[in-house]
Chains A and B, each alone.
Chain A
Amino acid sequence: MLPEAAHHAHHPALAHQFDSLGQQKEAATLGMWVFLLTEVLFFGGMFLTYAIYRAWYPEAFAAASHELDVTLGTINTVVLITSSLTMALAVHAAQLGQRKLVLWFLVATMVLGAAFLGIKSVEYYHKFEEHHVPGPGFQFEREYFRHAQLFFSLYFIMTGLHALHMVIGIGIMLVMFWWTWRGTITRDYYSPIEISGLYWHFVDIVWIFLFPLLYLIGRHGS
């Protein structure tokens, strides 16, 4: 039996089906990557739908996109990318066994995530006030009415699904905070932080694509 395995044979974090912490970490990491693969296909279906309708109705989509707040969208992009930085730093601290630093960076990530959601809510509220929510109350200039409504349907579904993933991500970070607080996360066993980070970065990547595709269509006119 490998010395590493013998040493970790009684490690509290080692699950019974694995022979070593190393095997467990590899399995967990691969599992998260396969899960992210499913998320790529999940969001991918929406991006495909978006691509087709944008190709069909370019002017209406541009007109509708102008009604989104570029400033808030840009701020949100900065917020989310910063949260990815703090997440990466949290993993880094975990690798070095720096418990306090992990806790701070997890908090920073959660705060930035919450800020993102807060700004998003403000944007949603604006859209509601401006009658840009698809449905009976929808209002838009006559020429682009039908297809602008399609744009906003895509906007709400895509950003809504993304926001849902953010909420879940914050929930995961709360659990990670708790595990780090009570000492479950150590220099030897930090893969939960690492794979939570993978999830968080993925949600960031979705936004990296959502932002230009939704907010920046045909902006040169304005």
Chain B
Amino acid sequence: MTDHILPKRVYYTIFGILMLGTYLTVQIAFFDLGRLNTVVALTIAVIKATLVVLFFMHVKYSTRLTWAVVLGSIFWLGIMFVLTMSDYLTRAWLTYG
């Protein structure tokens, strides 16, 4: 397995983007975007997390197996959320009387 050594400037660049993302998250929170507030906040969080995973954790240069573990964990989390929500979001659909 080749050990990819990233140049330091990559780390500094990602750090900069993460700082920018943090700043944006806080600023946008103070504007009323209705339901979009949560969507935007989570989108920025997902982008930040993705950058940490790809570059700080070197996943971009890792084996397929590592990718499988990362994607698998997200997928399984998704199963837990989606199927549980299938209960909570549909409870009100059927009302009796």
Interface-forming stretch among A139-147, A164-172, A212-220? A212-220
Task: Tell me, yes or no, whether B76 is within 8 Å of chain A by CB.
Answer: yes
Are B57 and A70 in contact, CB atoms less than 8 angstroms apart?
no
Residue in chain A with minimal CB distance to B81:
A48
Are A78 and B26 in contact, CB atoms less than 8 angstroms apart?
no
Known: A33-B69, A89-B8. A212 touches B29 (CB 8 A): yes
Identify 16 residue pairs between A and B in the complex whose beta-carbon atoms are under 8 Å apart, listed by A's number.
A26-B63, A30-B66, A40-B77, A81-B15, A81-B18, A81-B22, A92-B6, A209-B42, A212-B29, A212-B42, A212-B44, A216-B37, A216-B41, A220-B33, A220-B37, A222-B30
Task: Tell me, yes or no, whether A113 is within 8 Å of chain B by CB.
Answer: no
Residue in chain B with minimal CB distance to A222:
B30
The SS class assigned to the A binding surface is: helix
Q: Tell me the B21-40 residues at the A interface (CB within 8 Å).
A: 22, 25-26, 29-33, 37
Task: Tell me, yes or no, whether A96 is within 8 Å of chain B by CB.
Answer: yes
Q: Mark B73-95, 1 if CB is under 8 A from A, else 0.
A: 11011001100110010000000
B residues in contact (CB < 8 Å) with A = 1, 3, 5-6, 8, 11-12, 15, 18-19, 22, 25-26, 29-33, 37, 41-42, 44-45, 48-49, 52-53, 55-58, 63, 65-66, 69-70, 72-74, 76-77, 80-81, 84-85, 88
Are A205 and B66 in contact, CB atoms less than 8 angstroms apart?
no
A96 to B6, CA, bound (A): 11
A78 to B48, CA, bound (A): 12
In the complex, what residues of A have CB within 8 A of residue B48's CB? 208
In the complex, what residues of B have CB within 8 A of residue A121's CB? none
Q: Which of A22, A41, A88 is most buried by chain B, counting CB atoms within 10 A of its CB?
A: A88
Please name the 8 residue pairs, one residue from A and one from B, whose CB atoms are nearest each other, closest first.
A220-B32, A212-B41, A216-B29, A40-B73, A37-B73, A219-B29, A44-B77, A33-B69
Choose one: B6, B44, B56, B66; the contact of A201 (CB below 8 Å).
B56
In the complex, what residues of A have CB within 8 A of residue B29's CB? 70, 212, 216, 219-220
In the complex, what residues of B have CB within 8 A of residue A44's CB? 77, 80-81
Q: B39 to nearest A CB, angstroms?
A: 11
Task: Tell me, yes or no, whether A87 is within 8 Å of chain B by CB.
Answer: yes
Q: Mark A12-49, 1 if CB is under 8 A from B, else 0.
A: 00000000001001100110011011001100110010
Q: A51 to nearest B CB, angstroms?
A: 7
Are A29 and B66 in contact, CB atoms less than 8 angstroms apart?
yes
Are B56 and A87 in contact, CB atoms less than 8 angstroms apart?
yes
A residues in contact (CB < 8 Å) with B = 22, 25-26, 29-30, 33-34, 36-37, 40-41, 44-45, 48, 51-52, 55, 70, 74, 77-78, 81-82, 84-85, 87-89, 92, 95-96, 194, 197-198, 201-202, 204-205, 208-209, 211-213, 216, 218-222
Are A209 and B22 in contact, CB atoms less than 8 angstroms apart?
no
Residue in chain A with minimal CB distance to B84:
A48
